[in-house]
Amino acid sequence: MKLLTSILALTAMITTLASAAEPEAREWTAKDGTIIRYRWSAPEKIEPGKTYPLILFLHGAGERGTDNKTHLKHGVTPILENAAKLNQPVFLIAPQCPPDLWWSPVDLEAGRLSAARRSNKLLEAVLALVEKTSKEQPVDPKRFYVTGISMGGFATWDLLGRVPDKIAAAIPICGGGDPGLIRRYDKVPIWAFHGEADPVVKVSATKDMVAALFKAGGNPKVTYYPGVEHESWIPAYNDPELYRWLFEQRAK
């Protein structure tokens, strides 16, 4: 019995590691010429007639570049590993922001988006990639999930304001948004995370958004980590409960 248990445990571990293999490097050019370098992960086996969730991961400012690799440093691995542990096949897109740009214009001092109501060429290209992928792959249109850290956390709030009807759930981590746009997405399931000792993006950035959501009649989930500084994505993305919650969410 002990041998059988050990074999089953080893098999499960190997399956999880295989499912969380490094995503494929890809590049795509939007109609306006914007180049998106990104990593792509797909279910190991796609069954005929089935559709699968699509996760968009947006990295932080420290992972900007053109190598299509640095942005794998945080987030992507635990997301894929936890999905595999739940036997939930997923598609994942992880674009890399160019070194001289931001996903969204940000006022770090205020902890808010500074231009959430304006056109955003980079995010629009990312959304076009998502739309293209959703047409070409068996993506469940009711299970498009967005998550991001720091700069990507701000962009997660930004996307909520731009395409609320397309997002089934959002996980903004240590980022802020524009409280004035809350009513566009106050019914979208949101679980926000932030370290209470964050010296880069003050925890008030998330607290302001959560307070505005509750005031608008929303019911967001939020987790604050006492003593945790900027890297609140580490405990957040390693919380199994996050994924159980996430994969239950479906767009209305």
Q: Dump pLDDT digits (tens) for 60-99.
A: 999 999 999 999 999 999 999 999 999 999 999 999 999 9
Whether 102 shows a pLDDT value over 70: the answer reads yes
From edge to edge, which strands make up the β-sheet containing 169-173? 24-29, 35-41, 91-96, 52-58, 139-149, 169-173, 191-195, 221-225
pLDDT greater at residue 24 or residue 4 = 24
The pLDDT of residue 28 is: 95
Percent of the chain with pLDDT strictly greater than 90: 86
CA dist 127 to 4, 40, 78, 140, 235, Å? 47, 15, 23, 16, 28
Architecture of the domain made up of 2-246: 3-Layer(aba) Sandwich (3.40)
* pLDDT value for 78: 98
pLDDT at 116: 63
Residue 66: both structure tokens together: 């053109």
Q: With bands split at pLDDT 50, 70 and 90, how would you rate the model's confidence at 34? A: very high
Report pLDDT digits (tens) over 140-175: 999 999 999 999 999 999 999 999 999 999 999 999
